[in-house]
Structure 1
Amino acid sequence: MNKNKNAIEFLPAEVDVLVVGYGPVGATIAALLGRYGVSTLVLDKAHEVMLMPRAIALDNEALRILQLAGLAEDAFAKIVIPQVKMHSPVLGQFGRADTQGCIDGHPKLVTFYQPDLEHAMRDQVSRLKSVASLGGFELENLIHEADCVVATVRDQEGQVHTVRSRYLVGADGASSKVRALIGQEFEGQTYAEDWLIVDVKNRHASAIDHVEFICDPQRPTPHMPAPGGRERWEFMLRPGESREALQSEQSIARLIAPWIDPKELEIERKAVYRFHARCCNRFSKGRVFLAGDAAHITPPFVGQGLVAGLRDGANLAWKLAWVLRGHAAPAILETYDVERRPHAQAMINLAKLMGRLVMPRNKIAAFAIHGLMRLLALTPATRRYFEQLDIKPENTFRHGLFTAHVRGEKLVHGSLFPQAWVRNMQKHIVLSDDALRNNLTLVGFGVNPRSLLSSEQAASWVNQGGLFLEIRARGQVSDGTCDFIEDMNHEILPLATKGTIAAVRPDRIIMDHAPGAAAERLLRNCRALLLGERAAATSVSIA
């Protein structure tokens, strides 16, 4: 239920989770918590969605998380990007990434218009009865108590209020007040650069259909299309250039002249941002958690800034819900930092590397680096490494809330369970995540997982927030005692032998798998993990 701007009287005194920040990450966390039935309040200084040019790219994992949060495929406009090209003024095209096709039911890469996404997610939040959102409130202080966090907030009239929450999530961006209040400010050096971002409109017939990097050491320029007939350019500022001067219409017209006649130029949005590469030493302190740019800031060269924040939300929300609903011990919340921080740091490192590769600062370095990349593209193995995005760190955890992986198994513990098109019991063709719903799920490969358990064991699994799902080949039928789907294109079943069962977390991470005969052991392992037993929760996955 969204509250209007003046509804200060609706501010609750107590809530299970307080989310500070109503950008795309905060809204997604709120939507996930709402789908898990958690009492949630979202507060933000602003009332409306920001219109400044910000994130523009999402990958298949991000789209899958938005699906998990309840967004339909057509909830906001997207452009599917078939390739990313890298051009040198001297060598021509020296590299490319193939982004055609889908992974887990979603395109590998899309561009989008961030206000559209935020409005869609806010609409989704407004339909969730357990979630309230309010604008016009600024966080001032936090007090940690034994069983809650007391947040002091100030409304736009200057009046001070307090909100008690069992847990608090700071999704309040790069200048996070939450981060400052818990003493987790970014430390060390940063990779900082100033860039002018320009979004141009009415480019329906003229915009490119791919992403390109103009790797000119004099002025590196990423360039890409966006929905609604938009096109974006990003220009790196040179030493000595002022932000104000470069943002003038005359300067922008001069910069974009190679692509657009100044008479046809229609600027929709413009801003100068400083790109950083930063990561907190910890993503949590006590009952307070950081997510998105509040926890880590990624340069935009691999389009992973917002994606990383969405991964944070998917990982954290279900753990909070399971603790609040009594399905798991609070100790599982420690695994949020353990799982997410290494991958976020790996993505930051990749973005910095790609920045150095495609944006060298002088002509000699550009000729050497781009020439080397062009030579590497002649070898099939190295060409695949770049073109097929093998350079991108896999979202597979080494430590966390899962059992140790057995080398050689296709189902890797700590990695995402695959998604594919399936047919459900109502004979509808859907993506398999929709069949997994919002639960911890025991999945049977060609076997009814419930049939492998005693009634007491099945009841214990349900009491931990678990469901049962059987996957069979296309055309086979169910015995009617368990949720059932048909693997329409035979994409999931080949990953394990018939009779295998797998425990899949609500965020679609594989927790454990075993032969059906070892079902009791698998349930015991999962129970130990959820109850926070240290020996189980610090297991290692070898991908």
Structure 2
Amino acid sequence: MNPSPQQPNESSLQAEVVVLGAGPVGLAIANYLGQMGVQVLLIEKLDALIDYPRAIGIDDESLRTIQSFGLVEHVLPHTTPWHAMRFLTSSGRCFADIQPMLDDFGWSRRNAFIQPQVDGVMYEGLKRFTNVRCLFSRDMYDFSQDDQGVSLSLRNSDGTEEQVRAAYMVACDGGNSYVRRTLNVSFDGKTAPNQWIVIDIANDPLGTPNIYLCADPVRPYVSAALPHGVRRFEFMVMPGETEEQLSRPENMRKLLAQVLPEPDKVELIRQRVYNHNARLAGQFRVGRILLAGDAAHIMPVWQGQGYNSGMRDASNLAWKLALVVKGLAKAQLLDTYELERRDHARAMIDLSVMAGHVLNPPKRIYATLRDGISWLLNYVPPVKRYFLEMRFKPMPKYTAGVVVADSIKNSPVGSMFIQPKVELEDGCQVLLDEVIGSNFAIIAWGSNPKWGMSAAQISAYEALGVKFIQVLPAVQLKAQRAAIDGVITVGDFNNRLKTWFGLYPASVVILRPDRFIAALTIPQTLDQAAAEVLRRLHANDVLAPSAVQAQVA
């Protein structure tokens, strides 16, 4: 699955976007931009994709992002859906049981996976695009930017040098980001005082499904079942211990004896020691350079949100960058990336830190209180549902950026739209995003999604690649009706879209390519909402100016 370095003949390379770093965030951004026709140069310092222990939890939002660039069916075989997470006391009693069984976004809310395998799928996916090039074994040792673009200096493993010129650069170069440090962007937060050793074992010696976090006051540990018969153990490294010491056979045996009856009877894949950091970059954009993934934020592993937060960055940034590069929106649109993503990244850091304190309280008395209180709360149904449905997880909801505020109580504007299955005219049933593709969408319950929009507005949205979608009860698909030019009609056969629209005094949504709701309205005021979305996209001067003459009151 790992690539061999490609050796270009030219010493000067051109691209519209340079993506620095072939981790999951860089691969996701390159895939999205690739399918949008953007000229991309993906640069990686290493000579192959990383294959050592990394993330093991992938959320529904990340799967939906991968779906948006057409690779989710290739990723699913490397996942275990409906992956439960259980917190245990040292005696083995479960004090928090997280079994997320919702699928609002089309996929299991929490899934186990093996990151190098999924990274490999995304890398292979880049081969679909002639407009994407991947350069491995390149060390970027210098860069600069001006009003027209970014210049990079690369050094190959054989000592040869290359110069790169691009309109924009996305730095996905990790927590120790050279780009972030060179730009003097702060990285505020702290590193946990203790480390953890991660051990991956083939032919799972336990075989039990799901993931267990044991709050052992002597040495907390994690036991996680992964796809393809792999078992992940994580143990806290105690003061004075080193990776070299713990890797010795006799010490490895002592660790595994805590969780296995026969610690010598294992097939070790690899082990690695990690620090747990909680840090957030002071800014995500500096001119034509944008930070994403670990370069912008890093967090402890306890809720599996480091990987998923990076994928949210990719989903939020890639479509905006594509519009700007293609001349469909002004560069100011890129300011909304930090505006929308930074606060939620901070919330996920706080959640991960809190989960770490639950697993390993700073004082023994806190653990005793935790065990007693959690035992009682398990008998309170609302509290139990709160954990089972992962309601404690802060879901992204944007209040500024490419969103149009309204007066609806508990408005869903700024949050992610649901993805149920819908029925097509030919009777096939598909997930909603398969109808939308990687585009904007205007979805109307029952009515014509173009009704009330001016010809100029329709033209502007068509330039953005919008899909106009009318939703009907599936049984109405068989009724004779006049076709609406440029409108896709789908059937709501499981009542989920009707139920969703029934929650609000509105029937039309304007969806962004990342499936977040930009506006919620009714047909009579759709023209005003559509105009305001174009304005917030900074597309009003780029597309037809008359398309934005109507403004939201």
The two structures share one fold, judged by TM-score above 0.5: yes
Q: Could you tell me how far apart the structure 2 residues matched to 1:80 and 1:468 are?
A: 32
Segment of structure 1 superposing worse, 243-252 or 219-228? 243-252
Residue 330 of structure 2 corresponds to 329
Q: CA deviation at 1:356?
A: 0.5
Unmatched runs of 5 consecutive residues or more in structure 1: 534-543
Corresponding residue to 1:528 among 509, 532, 535: 535
- What is the CA distance between 1:238 and its match in structure 2? 0.8
Q: 1:123 to 1:426 in 2, by over 3 A?
A: farther
Of residues 501, 504, 507, the one that matches 2:514 is 507
Q: Name the residue aligned to 1:486.
A: 491
Aligned position for 1:440: 440
Q: Which amino acid aligns with 2:277?
A: H
Matched residues in 1 for 2:9 and 2:467: separation? 39
The equivalent residue for 2:86 is 85
1:138-153 aligned within 5 A: 138-153=139-154
Q: In the aligned structure 1, how far is the partner of 2:527 from the partner of 2:316?
A: 26
Displacement of 1:320 after TM fit? 0.5
Query: What CA deviation, in whole Å up to 9, does each residue of 1:341-366 have, x standing for no partner?
Result: 10011000001011111212443331
What secondary structure, in the 3-state scheme, does the structure 2 residue paired with 1:400 have? coil
1:298 has 2:299 as partner: yes
SS at match of 2:224: strand
Native 8 Å contact 1:218 1:361 kept in 2? no
Aligned residues: 530
Identify if the C-alpha distance between structure 1 residues 192 and 314 changes in structure 2 by more than 3 Å, giving closer, same or farther. Answer: farther
Superposed CA RMSD = 2.1
Kindly indicate whether the alpha-carbon contact (under 8 Å) linking 1:137 and 1:154 is maintained by their aligned counterparts in 2. yes
Structure 2 CA distance for aligned equivalents of residues 81 and 464 of structure 1: 36
Q: 1:101 deviation in Å?
A: 4.3
Cα offsets for 1:499-539 (capped at 9, x unmatched) = 82211000111111211011221221112111278xxxxxx
Change in 2 beyond 3 A, CA 1:248/1:10: farther
CA contact (8 A) 1:447 1:499 kept: no
Q: Report percent identity of matched pairs.
A: 30
Q: Which residue in the other structure is 2:168 paired with?
A: 167
Counterpart for residue 231 of structure 1: 231
Measured against aligned partners, the alpha-carbon deviations of 1:456-513 in whole angstroms (never above 9, x if no partner) come to: 3321221233231112211223743212221221112222269822110001111112
Structure 2: how far apart are the matches of 1:91 and 1:8?
57
Task: Give runs of aligned pairs for residues 357-506 of structure 1, distance below 5 A.
Answer: 357-408=358-409, 412-477=412-477, 479-480=482-483, 481=485, 482-496=487-501, 500-506=507-513
Q: Which residue of 2 aligns with 1:536?
A: none
**What is the distance in 2 between the residues matched to 1:499 and 1:283?**
34
Q: Please state whether the residue corresponding to 2:154 is helix, strand or coil.
A: strand
SS in 2 for 1:14: strand
CA deviation map 1:418-438 (0-9, x unaligned): 111112344332110111111
- TM-score, with normalisation over the residues of structure 2? 0.91
Query: Which moves more between the two structures, 298-307 or 396-405?
Result: 396-405
Alignment correspondent of 1:52: 52
SS at the partner of 1:99? Answer: coil
CA distance in 2, matches of 1:255, 1:298: 25
Tell me which residue corresponds to 1:519: 526
For residue 141 of structure 1, give the secondary structure of its aligned residue in structure 2: strand
Where 1:337 maps in the other structure, the secondary structure is helix
**Distance (whole Å) between structure 2 residues aligned to residue 64 and residue 328 of structure 1:** 24
How many Å separate the matches in 1 of 2:231 and 2:398? 36
Alignment check: 8 A CA contact 2:452 2:525 kept: no
**1:379–1:499 CA distance, 2 compared to 1 (3 A):** closer
Secondary structure in structure 2 of the residue aligned to 1:262: coil
**Is 145-154 or 77-86 further displaced after alignment?**
77-86
- Worse overlay, 160-169 or 243-252: 243-252
Alignment of 1:50-129 (within 5 A): 50-75=50-75, 76-90=77-91, 92-129=93-130
Shift of 1:32: 0.8
Give the AA of the match of 2:515. R
Which residues of structure 2 form unaligned runs of 5+?
541-553
Deviations, residues 108-128 of structure 1 (Å, cap 9, x unaligned): 211111121011101111112
TM superposition shift of 1:397: 1.6
C-alpha contact (below 8 Å) 1:83/1:100 kept by paired residues: no
Whether the aligned pair in 2 keeps the contact of 1:196 and 1:235 (CA below 8 Å) is yes
SS of corresponding position for 1:32: helix
